[in-house]
Structures are given as structure tokens and as C-alpha cells.
Amino acid sequence: MSERPPLASETCEGNWCDDPVHRDWLRRDAVKQLDFFRPSLRKDGGFDILNWDGTPRAGVPLELHITTRLVHSYALGAAFGDNGAAAIIDAGMERLWNGHRDTTHGGYVWSIDGNIVADATKLAYGHVFVLLAGANARQAGHPDADRLIDDVTAVIDRHFWDDDKGLLREEFNQDWSTFSTYRGMNANMHGVEALLAAFEATGREIYLDRAGRILAFFIGRIAPDHHWRIPEHYTEDWQLDRAYAGNPMFRPAGTTPGHSLELGRLLLQHWDLAGRPENQSPERARKLIERALDDAWLAEGGLCYTLDYSGEVAIRDRYWWPVAEAIGAISTLQRIDPRDSDERWYRKLWRFADGHFIDHKNGGWYPELDEAGAPVERQFLGKPDIYHSLQAVILPLVGAPSGIFPLLKR
């Protein structure tokens, strides 16, 4: 085990985000993550999932969110000064256009195995990540970004965006025939993320407007009626579906505190991009974030995965991504409306991540813990992606709710 550098100065009495030792620690972890995930890129231009030690895990179909998140993350890496980021961005953009893209029916299939379609389902979740990848590739200066943004925007307009509701439809067969009337919070939340990135990359107001409409539904209507928790699952007419229980990993019943943390931060990003209007966005974001932290933090440390509709812990499993998202959310609150409790949470979250999730020997973060707090492989194969954990170190460094790319380039 390599020596663990200190998270912050022993004498730091203010915010860790302003402490030179902590900021240096964040930069080092960003570099270590970018180096660890670099072997994801295969010689043939595809990507592999990595084992805990960084070796490729062969035989796993390439899912759309893996390709897109690598493009997104290494676009951030390029702005951060990573000299090897371009190769991964280039390969990811090529794989999206000539691998995942369906040249017959349009849109982007969920997974591919080499040049063969493994799962042809068309998901809103996957398509908004294509938009995110295109937007951030544009900010990184990629020459093919505009065609990807325009193509996936047209697909979203045609099939996923419900303008009457101001929300995204969920899923289709490859030929766009309907097999489900399910509606979900998760795809819409990541839709906000992608739409805001697209607005930052292009300046097109339609992206900002649509993100605002999604936020108005979940945070303006749903969250206040559910004690600032956000139910995950809905019917076709956007009524809460309390009986729904899908895949226990990807569509678990109840509410998911980690998603509230993400959405709270995205609300602050939207508010900032909209010119910081005099509205309730900062207060609402705080309510979402604080409710999620108070509900989900376990006595043994870490954040549980899900709650039931009464707010009681349902799935106790502890994954890396809610802790990573909590760090990003609380560090954003600290820059807008700082409170003593924010710094306490920030330090608690980083101490837990440093002691349990971060692999100080190999790099990257372990994705899940067992009951004793040790890394374990149950739901996730290897280290699935860099997306959440890289943002956990980048967002506190940037110190602003929007405009990450130009700030990183300074």
C-alpha cells in the first residue's frame, strides 16, 4: 500500500476547498484517476471495463454510458491539462458515431460488442449522455462535436422530448416502436445535466429552457410534496407509481438520495447560468441536499443506496457514486451560501472516501463496500468508470456552479 498523503493541513481552520494542501491533494487524485483509466482504450479503438488493478476485463459489451462518460471525463481532463486525453476523446467520438449510432433507424443503441449490436434498446438515459459527450467534446475543441450534438438533439426532439409535459419519455425498441410506458426521474435528471452542458457549449437557449422545465417538475412540484425526497418511478401521465420495482440496481423501488444530491447541484448550475435570478433555487437545492445527507448517512459511515417512501433505509448498500456526488453538491453550496454544517459534511465525506473508496495503491475508486467497509464486487464489475469520482475532485477545485471548462483552463 502506497503512503496516503494528507487530505488537508492539520492546522486548517477554514474551508478545506481553500486549503493549499487539500487542493494539491485533489489535483493529485485527478491525475491518478486519469492515469488509471487510460488503459480502458483498446488498440482497436474500443473500450474495456477495468479490473481493480487496472487490467482490462475482456468479454464485457460496451455500454453507451461508458463510452459517453469517458468522452465527458477526458474532455474535463483535457481542460485540466492531461496530455493524453485527446486519444480517448477521439476514440470515444468515433465509437459513438460508427459503433453505437444506428444508421438504419437513427439514434444510439445501448450496447455493442465490437461492431455487433448487443442490446439495441433506445434509452433516454443513454441519449442524454450522448448529448453530454458531444457538448463537452465541443468545449475540448473536438472537430466532430457539432455533428454529434445536432444528430442526438434531433433524435431527442423526435422521440424522447414530450413538449406538452416538459419531460423526457423513457425507452423504445430499436425501430422506435413502444414496449413500455414507464417514466423515470433518473433519465430526466441526467437530461438536465446534458442540457446544461449543451447550453454552455453552444449558447442555444432551448437547452437551458428545457433543463428548467424538468427542474420545475421535480423540484418545484414533486420534491415539496414528498418531504424533499424525489420518487424515482412514474406512469405515462407522470403520476407516482408506488408499486413499481424494476431492476434492483438500475430501477430500485422508492427514492435514491444520490440522485437528489445530483439534482440539487444541477439546480444551482441552472440558476447560475440563468443569471442568478431572485428565486428559491438556492434554498430548494439546500433542502434537497441536506435531506439526502441526513436520510442516507449510515451510523457506520457512507450513504445508503435507497429509501422507502417513508424515508427509511431500504437498500443499505454503500456505493462510491453517492459519496462522490455529495462532495460535488456540498462544495457547490459552500461557494453560494456557506454554512458551518457544509464544511463538517465536506470533511466527513472526504475522510470516508479517503479511508474506504479510494484505491491508494492502483488509482481509481472502488465502487462498493461490504458490511465491514471493505471493497467488494457484488453489483459492479471492476471499477466501472471515472465519471463520478473525477467530478468529486474537479468540482471543489473549480469552486463555481457552472463554467467548469474555462475555469479549469486558467
Q: Helices (H), strands (E): how many in the chain?
A: 14, 15
Examine the residue annotation and report whether 259 is marked as an active-site residue of this protein: yes
Chain-centroid distance, C-alpha 80: 18
What distance in Å separates the CA atoms of residue 70 and residue 42, rounded to the nearest whole number? 13
Predicted confidence at residue 2, as pLDDT, reads 52
Find the mean pLDDT for residues 56-74.
Answer: 95
- Helix or strand or coil: residue 331? helix
What is the grid cell recorded at 407? 475555469
More confident residue, 58 or 386: 386
DSSP 294-323: HHHB-TTSSB-SEE-TTS-EEE--EEHHHH
Find the mean pLDDT for residues 208-235.
Answer: 98
What distance in Å separates the CA atoms of residue 302 and residue 293, rounded to the nearest whole number? 10
Residue 406 has pLDDT above 80, yes or no: yes
Find the mean pLDDT for residues 233-248.
Answer: 93
Count the neighbouring beta carbons within 10 Å of the beta carbon of residue 376.
Answer: 16
Residue 76 has pLDDT above 60, yes or no: yes
What distance in Å separates the CA atoms of residue 96 and residue 59, rounded to the nearest whole number? 19
Share of the chain above pLDDT 70, in %: 99
pTM of the model: 0.97
What distance in Å separates the CA atoms of residue 310 and residue 80, rounded to the nearest whole number? 42
Per domain, the residue ranges of the chain are 16-408
Find the mean pLDDT for residues 156-183.
Answer: 98
Residue 1 has pLDDT above 50, yes or no: no
- Residue 230, strand partner residues: none
Predicted confidence at residue 4, as pLDDT, reads 83
Residues near 292 by beta carbon (within 8 Å), at least 6 away in sequence:
229, 257, 258, 260, 261, 264, 303, 326
DSSP state of 383: B
Band of pLDDT at residue 410, cut at 50, 70 and 90: low
Q: What digits encode the pLDDT tens for the residues 34-58?
A: 999 999 999 999 999 999 999 999 8
Band of pLDDT at residue 292, cut at 50, 70 and 90: very high
Q: What digits encode the pLDDT tens for the residues 90-137?
A: 999 999 999 999 999 999 999 999 889 999 999 999 999 999 999 999
What distance in Å separates the CA atoms of residue 192 and residue 1, rounded to the nearest whole number? 40
Contact 86, 77 (CB under 8 A): no
Residues near 328 by beta carbon (within 8 Å), at least 6 away in sequence:
261, 265, 391, 392, 395, 396
Q: What digits encode the pLDDT tens for the residues 325-373?
A: 999 999 999 999 999 999 999 999 999 999 999 999 999 999 999 999 9
Mean pLDDT rounded to a whole number for the chain: 96
* Catalytic residue of the set 190, 233, 259, 270: 259
What distance in Å separates the CA atoms of residue 259 and residue 372, rounded to the nearest whole number? 25
Examine the residue annotation and report whether 190 is marked as an active-site residue of this protein: no
CATH 1.50.10.10 is held by the domain 16-408 = yes
* Catalytic residue of the set 100, 142, 356, 388: 388
Residue 215 has pLDDT above 60, yes or no: yes
